[in-house]
């Protein structure tokens, strides 16, 4: 009997993994909490740093060309927005004959375990494979159901699990109650969410590319809506918040870095920039529809009042769903330990210079359980889709026992993307 594979998440890596597994004859089922590409659609207005040719497999494109004469392949050199990528590639892929009947959307993963054994039994023992995985799900109507599988591939990503604002990575006082009113994702400030921020005072927290994207959108909004104002606060001491990559091979990333750093240098009345700043407290008043935020700098706390708070302070993996499995996690990044160690020891400073860490780094003490995609990097922000494609090849070489198995080479003379 063919092994049953449960794939968690219908994003780019989940769909690519499902297509790969289906081509090999495995019985596959996908579980997705939202819709196809849901995480990417949450920031659908944002343009990807990498061109389309780096964000798909040869198997995916060839399958679409074979099955759909109407499918229009995006320009390989083109830089799509996240929504364009979902609409032009992920959604058509989800409708392929191999995938269209195996995707369960609106299906949240609650927890996983194994039949008849507990987490602390048969420790690191291959005999655990004799006991199928039990996966508890809940659909949009609240109905719970248990599914079983021989192999589980977790590609749920990290975007739905944002970090907290408070010092030390814990919630700031008042944050738990204020959470429903805080934007933890990247709002479309200059587009569909414009009315929420125009002529309002906002606070953006974070020093990564997500924060930079939001701040640059605010600059565009302020030019057209001069009553709009922004405070941009970062925890670090850098005078320019976004590190510059010398001779950056990705022009859109270089442009974003330069624009965001220019905003921080030229900050004035409309946009204030503060480094060495953390959130000491945050409280939302539903009556006033404003936040009272305590900003701490040099041991001094200043209380400010703002209309909106955007917390672009990073994301991390949700490990609660596999708490009852034997997963060896990194104590710092919360990614799988072997991969985290390899990433930590890598010398490359640019994510484009990454090389695969090898199939062995994707193994866990829990046999036949694999974490791939963005989630496999934990809190490390350097993941690229092409690395996830390499992971797909590697885990199926492990599952099949064939070290040379590579469907992407078979399909396009060695090209992964």
| Token code pair at residue 121 | 């039994």
What pLDDT sits at residue 284?
Answer: 99
Percent of the chain topping pLDDT 90: 87
**Domain spanning 167-311: CATH 3.50.50.60:** yes
Which homologous superfamily is 4-160+315-412 in?
A: FAD/NAD(P)-binding domain (3.50.50.60)
Q: Which ranges constitute the DSSP H helices of 86-208?
A: 91-94, 175-178, 194-197
For 84, phi and psi rounded to 5 degrees?
Answer: -60, -40
Which residues have C-beta within 8 Å of that of residue 330, sequence separation ≥ 6?
A: 336, 337, 340, 341, 378
pTM score, whole prediction: 0.94
Residue range 155-184, pLDDT digits in tens = 999 999 999 999 999 999 999 999 999 999
Structural element, H or E, at residue 408: helix 407-412
Q: Kindly state the tokens that stand for 30.
A: 């996908």
CB contact at 8 A, 333 and 378: yes
3-state secondary structure of 154: strand
Average predicted confidence (pLDDT) for the chain: 94
CA distance 13 to 362: 15
Asked whether residue 232 carries a pLDDT value surpassing 60, the answer given is: yes
Residues in a beta bridge with 151: 5
**pLDDT at 286 > cutoff 70:** yes
CB 15 within 8 A of CB 99: yes
Residue 28 has pLDDT above 90, yes or no: yes
**Would you state the pLDDT for residue 99?**
98
Q: pLDDT value at position 142?
A: 96
* 4-160+315-412 and 167-311 share one fold: yes
- Tens digits of residue pLDDT in 316-358: 999 999 999 999 999 999 999 999 898 887 655 556 656 677 8
User: Residue 382: what pLDDT?
Assistant: 85
* Per-residue pLDDT at 55: 97
CA dist 213 and 219 (Å) reads 10
- Cα gap 288→306, rounded to integer Å: 11
> Hey, where are the domains in the chain?
4-160+315-412, 167-311
Q: Tell me, what's the pLDDT at 115?
A: 98
Report the relative pairing of strands 290-297 and 144-149 from DSSP bridges. unpaired
Mean local confidence (pLDDT), 108-112 = 98
Is 371 exposed, middle or buried (CB count within 10 Å of its CB: 0-12, 13-18, 19+)?
Answer: buried
Segment holding 204, helix H or strand E: strand 201-205
E strands, 81-200, are 103-104, 107-114, 133-139, 144-149, 151-154
Residue 88, sorted as left (phi over 0), alpha (psi -120 to 50) or beta, turns out to be alpha
Rg for the chain, CA atoms, rounded: 22
Q: What is the pLDDT of residue 413?
A: 36
């Amino acid at each position: 009997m063919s092994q049953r594979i449960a794939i968690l998440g219908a994003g780019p890596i989940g769909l690519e993994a499902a297509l790969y597994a289906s081509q090999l004859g495995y019985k596959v089922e996908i579980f997705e909490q939202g819709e196809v590409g849901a995480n990417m659609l949450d920031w659908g207005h944002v343009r990807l740093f990498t061109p389309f040719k780096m964000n798909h497999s040869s198997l995916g494109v060839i399958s679409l060309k074979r099955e759909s004469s109407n499918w229009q392949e995006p320009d390989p050199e083109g830089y799509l927005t996240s929504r364009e990528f979902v609409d032009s590639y992920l959604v058509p892929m989800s409708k392929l004959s191999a995938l269209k009947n195996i995707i369960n959307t609106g299906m949240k993963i609650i927890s996983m375990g194994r039949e008849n054994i507990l987490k602390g039994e048969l420790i690191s023992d291959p005999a655990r494979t004799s006991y199928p995985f039990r996966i508890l799900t809940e659909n949009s109507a609240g109905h719970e159901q248990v599914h079983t599988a021989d192999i589980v591939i977790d590609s749920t990503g990290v975007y739905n699990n944002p970090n907290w604002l408070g010092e030390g990575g814990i919630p700031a006082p008042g944050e738990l109650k204020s959470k429903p009113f805080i934007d933890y994702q990247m709002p479309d400030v200059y587009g569909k969410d414009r009315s929420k921020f125009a002529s309002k005072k906002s606070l953006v927290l974070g020093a990564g590319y997500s924060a930079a994207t939001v701040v640059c959108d605010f600059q565009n909004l302020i030019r057209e809506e001069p009553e709009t104002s922004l405070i941009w606060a970062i925890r670090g001491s850098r005078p320019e918040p976004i590190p510059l990559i010398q001779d950056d091979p990705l022009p859109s990333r270089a442009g974003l870095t330069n624009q965001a750093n220019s905003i921080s240098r030229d900050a004035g009345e409309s946009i204030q920039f503060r480094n060495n700043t953390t959130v000491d407290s945050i409280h939302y008043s539903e009556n006033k529809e404003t936040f009272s935020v305590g900003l701490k700098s040099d041991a001094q706390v200043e209380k400010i009042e703002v209309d909106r708070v955007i917390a672009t302070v990073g994301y991390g993996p949700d490990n609660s769903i596999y708490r009852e499995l034997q997963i060896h996690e990194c104590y710092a990044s919360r990614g799988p330990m072997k991969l985290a160690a390899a990433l930590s020891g890598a010398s490359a400073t640019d994510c484009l210079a990454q090389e695969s860490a090898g199939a062995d780094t994707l193994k866990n003490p829990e046999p036949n359980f694999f974490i791939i995609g963005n989630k496999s990097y934990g809190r490390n922000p350097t993941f690229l889709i092409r690395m996830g494609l390499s992971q797909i090849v590697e885990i199926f070489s492990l599952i099949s026992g064939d070290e040379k198995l590579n469907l992407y080479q078979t399909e396009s003379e060695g090209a992964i993307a």
